[in-house]
Structures are given as C-alpha cells and as structure tokens.
C-alpha cells in the first residue's frame, strides 16, 4: 500500500468541558477517496480543519508527506480582501501551477472571474472556493460540504471533475448520491472516535447497524459483569469481614468503562403538527406564464397538484424554482393564465435563506416568540427545553444567540419552528442544506408519513428519489415538464438530451481522414433500407410509454405498472439510440462511397 500523504493519529480536542475528539485517526494515500460521515456536532469539520493544519489539537500527531500539495474547502469560504473572484482563485496557486486553469474552472462553474466578493451569493462564493481548491491540481483535497448551494448541473460536473483527479480526497457531505459516486472508503466519526470501512458508501448503513449491534452486545456483557461484581461486594463472604480493595477498584474501573462507552446517541424526534384536511385540489395552473423583462421564468404551465402529492421541483440555479414556488403559493401572480390555490390550506414554509431566523435572537425566544418558556406545538403548550431536546439541543443552549449556532443547528432550529405549527401544505426550499444523514433519514420518514401535500425544491438527488411522487423539471426558456416518480425516474423518461444526441450523431457521421471508404456488404445495404421503419416503430413505442408515464396518477394507482413502463422505456430508448447510430454509420458509408464513385 502507498505511504500516506496525510496521517492523523490519536487526535484529542476538547470543546469547552466536553471531549469532541477522543483518539480520532485518519490516513489518506494518493488516489484514495474517503467519505467522512457522522452526526452534526460530532466533530467532522473540526477534524478536517486539523487535517488541513488550520487548528491544533489538544493531543495526538499530524504528519503530512513532504512536498504534498493540499487544498481545503471550508463550509463558509472567506473571500474578503480580494478585489475579484479571479484574484481569490489565483492567490491559491503555487509558482509551478498552470495560471490558465483557474479562469477555466471559474468559467465551467458559471463565473467570469470579475465578480466582486462583496456581492456574491452563497452559491457563487462556494463555486469560487471550489475553483481555488481545484486549480493547483492538488495531491490531497479536503472538502467540507462542497455541494451546499450548488445546483444539479454543478454537482454532477463536480463529481466528474473529482473522478478525473489522481488526488487523495476526504469528503464531508450530506449528499448520499455524491458519497456513493465519489467515495471508496468510509470513516465514521461517532463519540469522538473514528471507525473505518474500506468499502463504498452504499454499504455504510448496513455496516453501521452491525457496529451498533455489536456495541450493544458489548454493553450488555459489561452491565452483567458489573452486576456480578456489585453482588459480590455486597454479599460475598469475604466482603462481610473485609472489603477486597482490588475488587472494589476493578468495579470502579468497570463503571468508568461503561460511562465512556455510553449508550446509543440521542435521537432526533421529528413530527409534523397536522392541520385540517385541505381541499382535494391544492394548486391548479392553467396556461400560467411569468416573465421578468424579456426573460421568461414560467411559460404556458398547466399543472394540477392534488392533496397528498409530493412534488419535487428541479432545475439549475436561475431557472426560476423559487419564483415558481411563489406562484404556486399565491405570493406572486402570473402575468397571463391562472394559478388557483385550493381551499382550507394551512401552509408552512422552510426557506433556504433562513430569513425567518434573527441571528441576534436567542434559541428560546426564537421558538417561543419571546413569550416566556412555553412553546405551542400542535396547539398544545410544552416547555421550551423539552421541545429543544427533541431537536438535539442542550438546555444550556436556550440563551444562545441564533448567530452562534452552526449551519446544521440552524437547520434543525428551522425545522423545530416549522413543525410546531399545524399544516397541511409543506413548502420546502432546499431543506437538506447542512443536515446530517441521520436527520435526513428522519425528515424523509416524516414526509413519507405526512398526510398533507409537499412542494419540495432540492438539488439532493437521493432525497428526491426517496420522497417525491412526481418531479417538475425545468427544460429551459421558462418551460417546465412534470414526470412521474423521482429524479432518477425523470432521467429515464427524458432519455438522452438533445445536445448529447446531436453530438453522438455528428461523431458517428464524421468520416475519418486519411482512410479509404469502406465497402458496404449486402447485409449493410439491407439494414440501411430496413432501419428507418424500425426506428419509426421504436419512436412510436417511446412516445407511447412517455405518454403513459406522464400520467401523475399512475405512480399512485399502479406502482408495479409504473416500474414496468419505466424499465420498458429505458430499453426502448437504448434500442432507438443504437438503431439511429447504426443508421448514421451506414448512411455515412453510403455517402462516402457515392463521393468516391463520382471522383
């Protein structure tokens, strides 16, 4: 095995009076892809900062192979002190690095390089920081939540870029799909210690359960041993005459071991306060359009959202997802057409900007509205500290200003505020940002059991697949199309993009220079004549399946048929693409032969 580029051993760090890291270790070799996972507050970001040399641990050792180029992407990049995004990126280059790579990366990430850091959005700052981290082609990349505030095209581009690198990578992310696509090993940080699994992230949950079950068995054995020792201390014959000092000391050691081992971690408790039953039709759009100046945001949209639907809304940044949400919730009016809301709606919104949170207000006052120590949950009064514990906040945090909370804690606080209010319509705009995997699991279960309607804007592909019943996707120029199922189902129904189809056709039809035109066999000529009819049949088959899958009720009424039709569509599209490519090859051969004959 290659020597490690980075090695952390027995890292100890205390936060206040609490041990945050207690013997944590990481080793990263060239080309390794490691996912660093754990709950919010478990110390992942702290461990990554120690790895980057930005924090000094209280104990332990850090070794970096001499000559290693390392780059660290923080959760909240600091671009202050730079005139432009390009200056910020170029500042991270070494003397021997390619100065043209920075501008090229900025361009691929949708930035010009001339943006002023003072005017950047969170997503734009993250893109600039990614360009700075990737520009030197480093030997080692430490990435802390790189997908936050990125849209789906940028996330998918980043995955491909990381796959092309030879660098060792340590990745913290809540995006399951990225963890699966990038990671080859998993380091789980829990209780201040690290455990490593040298398999892909798709095996993590099963492995975590195995570890938890083994530790539960170990705790049971330890508890039984303590009971035996306590019984001996109390009732043993020797104990009646004189305490055995050694046995008493051993009992104390066992009790200390049990305290250190602890039990299962605190569990987040998510439950939505149900409102009254809404009308059957929640949102009905008829030829609705909305533009800003010459730019269409929504164009001729007709859509019907029924009670109980869970609609995902996807598209690149700037496509108009938030504007579409505002139209669908009555905050904005369409320029033409209509957008009618149903009756008896009780909406609750989780805003990605978290504008509802005042950084100067304490956690307690945020939950209670500044009205004492009671919070109203589903119409019932609860003590605020008890409700805080449901969302993994400690009692001593009650007086903590919101601005002092971490991103994950602010996300949980927003959930706590929203879920306390009765609702039958949840509007979630990027709810997964900064949430850990355990919280995402619980939020997913909550939404699956929620009796109302859900409108969800998200760039988290796995979360969309697990939650939504249909997906409304931006097709560009204000066009939106609804597809049955989640994000992966949408990709299958869309088939190859027009750009990819054109690229494949051009590649197939382009003659190779410096080669003689191949001769067509009888079989080739027969195929050239028969393929157009076959392609026509396949196109008809694809259109029929797409029409069937476009019915949003199919997924709810006949899940088995939906899956069969989805698989059949994928097969038909693959066969169609294969037939079209073969026809293009044969047609190119025929044209080349005709040209040579004329010559």
Task: Give Rg (Cα) of the chain.
Answer: 29
Q: What CATH number was assigned to the domain covering residues 267-346+422-491?
A: 3.40.50.300
pLDDT at 233: 57
* pLDDT of amino acid 552: 64
Q: Worst-scoring range by mean pLDDT, 341-345, 453-457, 521-525, 564-568?
A: 521-525
Separation of alpha carbons 298 and 321, rounded Å: 9
- Say which CATH class 4-203 falls into: alpha beta
Residue 96 vs residue 507, higher pLDDT: 96
Pure H helices in 3-147? 44-51, 85-90, 101-108, 122-134
pLDDT-based confidence at 355, cuts 50/70/90?
low
- Work out the mean pLDDT of the chain and round it to a whole number: 83
Question: What is the pLDDT, as a whole number, of residue 497?
Answer: 55
The whole-number pLDDT of residue 84 equals 95
Supply the pLDDT for residue 288: 95
Instruction: Report whether pLDDT(513) > 70.
Output: no
Q: What distance in Å separates the CA atoms of residue 308 and residue 465, rounded to the nearest whole number? A: 17
Percent of the chain with pLDDT over 90: 39
- Grade residue 187 by pLDDT with cuts at 50, 70 and 90: very high
The percentage of the chain sitting over the pLDDT mark of 70, rounded to a whole number, equals 84
pLDDT at 596: 60
Most confident segment among 119-123, 399-403, 497-501 = 399-403
Q: Can you tell me the distance from the alpha carbon of 54 to that of 428, in angstroms, rounded to the nearest whole number?
A: 35
Average pLDDT of 116-127?
A: 87
CATH of domain 495-598: 1.10.287.380
Question: CA-based diameter of the chain, in Å?
Answer: 117
Say how far apart CA 126 and CA 109 lie, in whole Å: 10
CA distance 489 to 487: 5
Buried/exposed code over 508-540 (b: 16+ C-beta within 10 A; e: otherwise): beeeeeeeebeebeeebeebbeebeeebeebee
Identify the pLDDT of residue 10: 95
Higher pLDDT, 419 or 173: 173
CA distance 54 to 75: 14
Higher pLDDT, 288 or 248: 288
Poorest-pLDDT segment among 126-130, 286-290, 541-545: 541-545
DSSP state of 13: E
Region label for 587, one of left (φ > 0), alpha (ψ between -120 and 50) or beta (otherwise): alpha
Sign of CA dihedral 223, 227, 228, 230: positive
What contacts 597, CB < 8 A, 6 or more positions away?
none
Q: Is the pLDDT of residue 164 over 80?
A: yes
Q: What is the pLDDT of residue 256?
A: 58
pLDDT at 550 over 90: no
Q: How far apart are CA 230 and CA 2, in angstroms?
A: 50
Instruction: Write down the pLDDT at residue 178.
Output: 94
pLDDT score recorded for residue 60: 94
**Does residue 440 surpass a pLDDT of 90?**
no
β-pair type (310-314, 453-457):
parallel
Mean pLDDT of 415-437: 85
Q: Tens digits of per-residue pLDDT, 364-421?
A: 998 888 878 888 887 788 898 988 888 888 888 889 888 888 777 887 888 888 888 8
Q: What is the pLDDT of residue 196?
A: 94
If one compares 407 and 131, the residue with the highest pLDDT of the two is 131
- Residue entry with tokens 């305490």: 243
What mean pLDDT is predicted for residues 498-526? 53
Residue 512: predicted pLDDT: 44
What integer pLDDT is reported at residue 499 of this predicted model?
Answer: 43
Q: Is the pLDDT of residue 73 over 80?
A: yes
Mean pLDDT along residues 284-294: 92
Does the pLDDT at position 23 exceed 50? yes
Q: Phi-psi bin for 187: left (phi > 0), alpha (psi -120 to 50), beta?
A: beta
Mean pLDDT of 349-373: 80
Which residues 6+ apart lie within 8 Å of 497 measured at CB? none
Query: If pLDDT is split at 50, 70 and 90, which confidence band does 425 have?
Result: very high
Residue 503, pLDDT > 70, answer no
CB 149 within 8 A of CB 433: yes
Task: Identify whether the C-beta of residue 171 lies closer than 8 Å to the C-beta of residue 126.
Answer: no
Least Cα distance to 15 among 54, 42, 39, 40 occurs for 42
Q: Which helix (H) or strand (E) holds 343?
A: none
Between the CA atoms of 595, 597, 598 and 599, what dihedral angle is there, to the nearest 10 degrees? 90
Q: Mind listing the pLDDT tens digit for each residue in 469-489?
A: 999 999 988 999 999 999 999
Among candidates 168, 117, 178, which has minimal Cα distance to 145?
A: 178
pLDDT band at 314, cuts 50/70/90?
Answer: very high
Judged by DSSP in three states, 429 sits in strand
Using the predicted structure, report yes or no on whether residue 247 has a pLDDT greater than 80: no
- Model confidence band, residue 260 (pLDDT cutoffs 50, 70, 90): low
Asked if residue 86 has pLDDT above 50, the reply is yes
Average of per-residue pLDDT across 581-589: 76
- Band of pLDDT at residue 568, cut at 50, 70 and 90: confident
């Amino acid at each position: 095995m290659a020597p490690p580029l980075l090695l952390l051993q027995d890292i100890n760090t205390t936060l206040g009076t609490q041990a945050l890291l207690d013997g944590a270790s990481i080793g990263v070799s060239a080309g390794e892809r490691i996912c660093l996972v754990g709950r919010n507050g478990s110390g992942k970001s702290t461990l990554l900062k120690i790895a980057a040399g930005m924090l000094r641990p209280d104990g332990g050792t850090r070794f970096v192979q001499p000559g290693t180029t390392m780059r660290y992407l923080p959760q909240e990049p600091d671009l202050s002190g730079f005139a432009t995004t390009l200056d910020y990126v170029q500042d991270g280059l070494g003397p021997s690095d390619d100065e043209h790579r920075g501008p090229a990366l900025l361009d691929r990430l949708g930035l010009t390089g001339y943006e002023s850091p003072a005017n950047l959005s969170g997503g734009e700052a993250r893109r600039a920081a990614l360009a700075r981290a990737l520009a030197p082609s480093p030997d080692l990349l430490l990435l802390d939540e790189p997908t936050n505030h990125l849209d789906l095209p940028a996330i998918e581009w980043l995955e491909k870029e990381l796959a092309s690198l030879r660098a060792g990578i340590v990745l913290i992310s809540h995006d399951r799909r990225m963890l699966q696509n990038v990671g080859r090993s998993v380091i789980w940080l829990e209780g201040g210690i690290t455990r490593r699994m040298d398999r892909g992230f798709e095996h993590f949950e099963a492995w975590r359960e195995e570890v938890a079950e083994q530790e539960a068995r170990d705790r049971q054995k330890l508890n039984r041993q303590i009971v035996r020792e306590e019984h001996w201390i109390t009732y043993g014959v020797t104990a009646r005459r004189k305490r055995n000092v050694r046995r008493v000391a051993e009992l104390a050691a066992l009790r200390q071991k049990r305290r250190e081992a602890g039990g299962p971690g605190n569990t987040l408790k998510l439950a939505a306060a149900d409102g009254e039953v809404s009308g059957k039709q929640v949102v009905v759009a008829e030829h609705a359009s909305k533009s800003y100046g010459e730019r269409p945001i929504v164009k001729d949209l007709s859509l019907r959202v029924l009670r109980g639907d869970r609609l995902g809304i996807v598209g690149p940044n700037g496509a108009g997802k938030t504007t579409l949400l505002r139209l669908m919730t009555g905050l904005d009016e369409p320029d033409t057409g209509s957008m009618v809301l149903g009756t008896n709606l009780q909406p609750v919104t989780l805003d990605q900007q978290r504008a509802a949170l005042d950084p100067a207000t304490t956690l307690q006052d945020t939950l209670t509205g500044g009205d004492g120590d009671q919070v109203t949950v589903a119409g019932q009064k609860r003590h605020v500290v008890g409700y805080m514990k449901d969302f993994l906040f400690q009692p001593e945090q009650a007086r903590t200003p919101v601005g002092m909370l971490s991103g994950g804690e602010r996300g949980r606080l927003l959930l706590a505020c929203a879920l306390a209010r009765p609702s039958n319509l949840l509007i979630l705009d990027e709810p997964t940002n900064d949430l850990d995997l355990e919280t995402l699991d619980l939020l997913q279960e909550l939404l699956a059991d929620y009796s109302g309607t859900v409108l969800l804007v998200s760039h988290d592909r796995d979360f969309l697949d697990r939650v939504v019943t249909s997906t409304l996707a931006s097709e560009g120029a204000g066009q939106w199309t609804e597809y049955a199922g989640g994000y992966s189902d949408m990709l299958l129904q869309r088939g190859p993009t027009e750009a990819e189809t054109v690229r494949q056709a051009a590649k197939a039809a382009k003659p190779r220079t410096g080669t003689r035109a191949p001769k067509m066999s009888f079989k080739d000529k027969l195929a050239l004549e028969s393929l157009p009819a076959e392609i026509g049949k396949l196109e008809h088959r694809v259109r029929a399946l797409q029409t069937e899958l476009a019915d949003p009720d199919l997924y709810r009424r006949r899940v088995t048929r939906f899956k069969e039709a989805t698989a059949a569509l994928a097969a038909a599209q693959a066969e169609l693409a294969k037939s079209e490519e073969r026809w293009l090859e044969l047609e190119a051969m025929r044209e080349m032969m005709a040209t040579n004959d004329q010559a």
